[in-house]
Structure 1
Amino acid sequence: MKKIAFLLVIIFLAGCSANPSKKTQKPKLVVGVVIDQMRYDYLVRFQNRYGNDGFKRLLREGFSLENAHYNYIPTYTAVGHTSIYTGATPTNHGIISNHWYDKFLKKTIYCVDDENFNTIGNDGDGGKKSPYRMLTTTMTDQLKLAQNMNGKTIGVAIKDRSAILPAGHTANAAYWFDGGEKGQWISSSFYMNELPNWVKNFNDSKKADEYLSKPWGTLYDINTYTQSIADDNNFEEPFKGQERPVFPHDIPTLRKSNNNYSILKGIPAGNSFTSDFAKAAIIGENLGKTDYTDFIAISFSSTDYVGHQFGVASKEIEDTYLRLDKDLADLFSFLDSQVGKDNYTLFLTADHAAVQVPAYLKSVKIPANYISNKKFTDYVNGITKKYFNSEELVENISNFQIFLNKEKIEALNLDVNTVAEKISEEVVNYDNIYKSVTAKTLQTTTFTSGILNSLQNGYNQKFSGDILLIPNPSTLTTYYKNGGTSHGSGYSYDTHIPMIFFGNGIKQGTSKKKYEIVDIAPTISNLLKIEFPNGCTGKIIEEVFE
């Protein structure tokens, strides 16, 4: 009887070893793909026109979270990229906007500006950048630490902030496109003293000029673009030198009056150009070919420029995503052959979404509006004049935040909290301001759900303003009143984004459970068996794993 039992155990163990679990090794390469300003509904709205090997391949072979959202305000580019890679919100990571008012320096600052470093690649100032204002680590940092600083991390994007912040503090390099009269990919002396030869060769290839030598016409017959409104409408912003915002856009001619190479940022070719450079980086840096795990963070920025200028219902945005689908298919095919199908893990998401053009919404009787910055500032100064007999108590109003002049308030023997509370009480009477909360309230009250929870997650006690505002839904500043759209709110049209995991270690499927943007970093960290970023507040998305 003992012999029979022993034989059964041997047979069982042999069976286990003959069927090892699939893909037990870590990926050789992690690819983070962020599509700037991509709404979730672009996945389904244009699905019938997508090919089989781009977005559809991700949905077919990967795991899609259909109810993924940003969990903070403001939903801007720098904040989104930082939150994806840190697994934290501005409360912890400190990037509270793209530009924000620095109450210590008494001026508006840009998220990645750093005068301590110089441009690498040309003689301009476009490379004086670093990630030093990001206070926490990223998953890319944690991967480097876990591998004793081995493995490579590269950030690639047309926008500097979209390359720098995801790549983290320990990156080997971040590269971005310097437009204007330069037309080159550049970096910062934060990373290196000289561009690698492969970057110099790429710049010398004049691919930017090649892409700008052709007009931007629709990929397919424009009459088949049925998921967008009429091409000629009053809700879009034409290029400078163009009478109406309609196809075809004569890029070779228009580049002269649209800051030359910078026009490449605002057309679909900018995404193709980014993909070309990312592939050159993978080859040039030999990514995915060593005993360590490498990471490339790619952000497609042109979708955001097109969205801002033409709006989410435009023929231009439809064409941009149909073209991006082809770029993605080409990138995935390249990864299959260069790195190996089972050797990389990829995630795709967006740094924020966008609202329909408010003027268009108004035209179809949906509540929407614009707020004049000047009129609103005058209104706030009227409040302080009425109750405190001074129009000098407000130092700055930006990003729907009010910064008080503490020195003036103290000089008048006033109490800062009293002033803030009175402004907060009164300012909600202004048209299209929905809610107003003081910093004191956010410091002393915990909001566990709803839009005030999102506002609290985006509040940083050290850097944020003294009064934080929430406009009505579908409300922008008058900067966009002549056409185009924007983002930044905590409403679903700005927070609902795609979140797809794909490749090594990921199973096929979908989920309708709600997940938050901060969940990506701990999920990838868990896949790699590394420590979470040090400010991380997200959770592991267990159901994406095999």
Structure 2
Amino acid sequence: MLNQQIKSGLGILAMLAISTTNSLEAQKSKAVTNLDKAPRLVVGIVVDQMRWDYLERFAPLFKSNGGFNRMMSQGFSNDNCQIGYTPSVTACGHTGIYTGTVPAIHGITGNAWYDTQLKRNVYCSEDRTVDGVGAAGASDGKMSPKNMLTTSIADELRMANNFKSKVVGIALKDRGAILPAGHSANGAYWFDAKSGNFITSTYYYKELPNWVKQFNDRQIPDSLMKLGWKKSLADDVYLQYATADEKNYEGKPFGANQRKMPYDLTRGANEGFGKLSTTPWGNTLTVELAKAAVLAEEMGKDGVTDMLAVSFSSPDYVGHSFGPNSWEIVDNYIKLDEELGRMFDFLDATVGKGKYTAFLSADHAVAHVPGFMKENKLPGGLLDDKAAISEMNAAIKAKFGIDKLVVSLTNYQVHFNRDLLDSLNADRKAINQFMVHYLMKKEYILNAFPTSEILTSPMPQYLREKMANGFLYNRSGDIQMVLKSGYIDGGATGTTHGLWYSYDAHIPLLWYGFGIKQGRSNKRVFMHDIASTVASLLKIQEPSGNIGNPIEEVLKK
């Protein structure tokens, strides 16, 4: 039934594309790019929460015509790509890939941050001046890229040809669609779990484009959830790549009684579509919308390079719940490989094989579940951030008589009420020193120091630079905490990410298609080198805050 729905929907969209062929041919004068020297389409792929080692660990499971194998064998792999800042989280990663810079410059210092000027927590893509479009009461639609302080490579592409290029961002998560697409995008679309619709905001359109409405009308999420989540392989194969399927330290996103694969995704009365995001079907849904966008927006069909920014959010939901050594994460990547292969087949047929360039990276990687670490006698543990705030405030009050000085513990930083400190004319140096000594006694702390002393605190230069690159005064805290390896801020089940360690910061970087050499390299490169490499390929200006360098070994001369 699903295949029939997909074929039917794509057939309609294909007819729409064919009907516009004559008008496109009549607009030859629109062409401003010599397509012998530039790709018709750039496809940016971000896998939300992907460790670099998955490419090697799961390589025997990837199909010859799958996406990962195709990119590895026919394209270029930068095997030592690192995140050059902290914290290693979704919003910072998506922004860093497309802006070529770091939070200290592009301003997205976390998925959320405590804003010292607004005196409240701010979500990375929140915009209270706009409204959601595409679902009744879509409060999650009040989003835009306004908090991003620099241009993206997508913005630079648009400006390079007087805004003739089309740029579209797609993801289940709003931040995964909005931030990569930049300020001047033709559209960004994300998933509303309550309605099962892809939505946008009035920042882009007053109402959804017809092609998105038609896509939503197909009700693909409902069809996918009825299929459940079934295993791709025999049990003995999973056991070669992961621990036992059922572990007490894994999350239970589908209900307390569903403890191992396969999973029943049947929706209850008045239940939304949230479960879909924590399954490989979320990747399927993302690919289908991406394909619909290419057809309906006629991307790659004229002489102007277009850009499609696709983020796969489901691996992050799956990874948080089950961890890197779970059957679920193995199954997710097997199925994602297949989806990527189908997407490349589609692009070969519509844009043209060798006529587009694709890159694939990740916004961050992930730590192992602390329970898994303990089970295998490896270092790791937990930080309860809510309890920590209460304990810090109690300690400060007992020492200095100041109540509720700590207002947030976000992005591994302690945020003080700076206005309160000013009004009391408090001794900040003494308070900072007290907090550092207090934190250094905690089991989970490797290091702590005032953020004003990032560049002078004793630590390796590599780590100092990462901390400095993530700091922006009005969006960052007063005391930096560095957790010990294997420690996370979380609960007894599942895992997370955000630290500087290799398990969080070593990400894949694959290149494929037009203008790309075949090969691989272990030379260290950084996430913020991606945008300048794309700019070099397209021969356009790099983003305004760019600090990266083109990875020359990737590009054909």
Match of 1:376 in 2: 388
Cα pair 1:266 1:306 within 8 Å, conserved? yes
Match of 2:5 in 1: none
Q: Give the greater-gyration-radius structure (CA).
A: 1
Q: Quote the Cα distance in structure 1 between the aligned partners of 2:419 and 2:335.
A: 54
Match of 1:87 in 2: 100
Match of 2:13 in 1: none
| 2:145 is the counterpart of 1:131 | yes
Q: Quote the Cα distance in structure 2 between the aligned partners of 1:368 and 1:258.
A: 40
| 2:246 is the counterpart of 1:270 | no
2:126 to 99, 113, 116: 113
Post-superposition Cα deviations, 1:62-94, rounded to whole Å, max 9, x if no partner, equal 000001111111011011000000001100000
Paired amino acid for 1:286 = E
Q: Quote the Cα distance in structure 2 between the aligned partners of 1:240 and 1:347.
A: 33
Moved more, 222-231 or 316-325: 222-231
Paired amino acid for 1:126 = D
The Cα shift of 1:302 comes to 0.4
| 2:252 is the counterpart of 1:238 | yes
| 2:263 is the counterpart of 1:219 | no
Post-superposition Cα deviations, 1:176-230, rounded to whole Å, max 9, x if no partner, equal 11012x1101111111122121111111111111101112110122222120110
Match of 1:512 in 2: 522
| 2:512 is the counterpart of 1:502 | yes
| 2:554 is the counterpart of 1:544 | yes
Structure 1 residues without counterparts, runs of 5 or longer? 1-21
Per the alignment, do residues 421 and 147 of structure 1 end up closer, same or farther by CA in structure 2, a change over 3 Å counting?
A: farther
Match of 1:159 in 2: 173
| 2:537 is the counterpart of 1:527 | yes
| Helix, strand or coil at the partner of 1:263 | helix
Q: Quote the Cα distance in structure 2 between the aligned partners of 1:385 and 1:214.
A: 55
| 2:186 is the counterpart of 1:183 | no
Match of 1:27 in 2: 39
2:318 to 306, 310, 322: 306
The Cα shift of 1:443 comes to 6.4
Match of 1:8 in 2: none
| Helix, strand or coil at the partner of 1:523 | helix
Q: Quote the Cα distance in structure 1 between the aligned partners of 2:539 and 2:302.
A: 18
The Cα shift of 1:383 comes to 3.8
The Cα shift of 1:122 comes to 2.0
The Cα shift of 1:473 comes to 0.7
Match of 2:188 in 1: 174
The Cα shift of 1:448 comes to 7.3
Per the alignment, do residues 258 and 463 of structure 1 end up closer, same or farther by CA in structure 2, a change over 3 Å counting?
A: farther
Q: Quote the Cα distance in structure 2 between the aligned partners of 1:280 and 1:41.
A: 32
Q: Quote the Cα distance in structure 1 between the aligned partners of 2:439 and 2:150.
A: 34
Match of 1:39 in 2: 51
The Cα shift of 1:375 comes to 3.7
Q: Quote the Cα distance in structure 2 between the aligned partners of 1:356 and 1:446.
A: 28
Match of 1:468 in 2: 480
Q: Quote the Cα distance in structure 2 between the aligned partners of 1:27 and 1:108.
A: 41
Matches within 5 A, 1:127-526: 127-180=141-194, 182-225=195-238, 226-252=240-266, 255-256=267-268, 259-442=271-454, 449-477=461-489, 479-481=490-492, 483-526=493-536
The Cα shift of 1:149 comes to 1.1
Per the alignment, do residues 475 and 503 of structure 1 end up closer, same or farther by CA in structure 2, a change over 3 Å counting?
A: same
The Cα shift of 1:109 comes to 1.6
Match of 1:9 in 2: none
TM-score by length of 2: 0.90
Cα pair 2:49 2:365 within 8 Å, conserved? yes
Paired amino acid for 2:165 = G
Moved more, 411-420 or 150-159: 411-420
Cα pair 1:235 1:311 within 8 Å, conserved? no
Cα pair 2:45 2:311 within 8 Å, conserved? yes
Structure 2 residues without counterparts, runs of 5 or longer? 1-33
Q: Quote the Cα distance in structure 2 between the aligned partners of 1:497 and 1:79.
A: 14
The Cα shift of 1:136 comes to 0.4
The Cα shift of 1:294 comes to 0.3
Paired amino acid for 1:315 = W
Task: Note the aligned Cα RMSD (angstroms).
Answer: 1.8
Q: Quote the Cα distance in structure 2 between the aligned partners of 1:123 and 1:514.
A: 47
Question: How many percent identity over aligned positions?
Answer: 41
2:87 to 74, 78, 99: 74
Q: Quote the Cα distance in structure 2 between the aligned partners of 1:538 and 1:88.
A: 7
Q: Quote the Cα distance in structure 2 between the aligned partners of 1:270 and 1:476.
A: 26
The Cα shift of 1:256 comes to 2.5
Q: Structure 1 runs of 4+ off > 6 angstroms?
A: 443-448
